[in-house]
Amino acid sequence: MSGFAQTFLLSIVLLMSAMARADDAADARARKVMDEFMAAFNARDTGAWADTLLYPHVRFAGGTVTVYPDRTAFIAANHIDQLIAGEGWDHSKWDSIRIVQSGPNKVHFVVEFSRYHADGTKYASYPSLYIVEQVGGRWGVRARSSFAP
């Protein structure tokens, strides 16, 4: 490959990378929402958890696609008690969280989270994709896709 072609391709890659990571303020705000999401989930505060989402909210997990049209539907469908009873879940943590694309109003995160028992034993880990958006001045998780059941 010629020097010109290499330089051209490198320029395109750098430009695309800069465009994908366009807004540090958006990245920081979206990351804050991710931390609020996990904190509310771990606190078993369904209302606060619902407040970290945008609606309609979409979840891809367990071989199904679930669309929550609004906050009320999300709260009504919440099954955190089944997670506790079925798995002995106590809390979850982000193992890794990485921004892979961002713009002024939307950020895509590739994450891995783990589930823990009350004694601190990790019993499951799941790779996931979260999409966080700003709509009407408010940031929230619009969609998430995970390999969790």
Domain parsing of the chain, residue ranges: 23-146
Structural domain 23-146, CATH architecture: Roll (3.10)
Q: Give the tokens for residue 13.
A: 């890659």
Could you say which residues of the chain have pLDDT below 50? 9
**Any idea which residue has 């996931």 for tokens?**
128
Whether the model pTM is above 0.85: no
* Whole-number pLDDT of residue 82: 77
Cα–Cα distance for residue pair 37/63, rounded to 1 Å: 22
Q: What is the pLDDT of residue 4?
A: 54
Give the pLDDT of residue 85: 83
Q: So what's the pLDDT on residue 89?
A: 93
pLDDT at 65: 96
Please state, in angstroms and rounded to a whole number, the distance separating the CA atoms of residues 129 and 125: 13
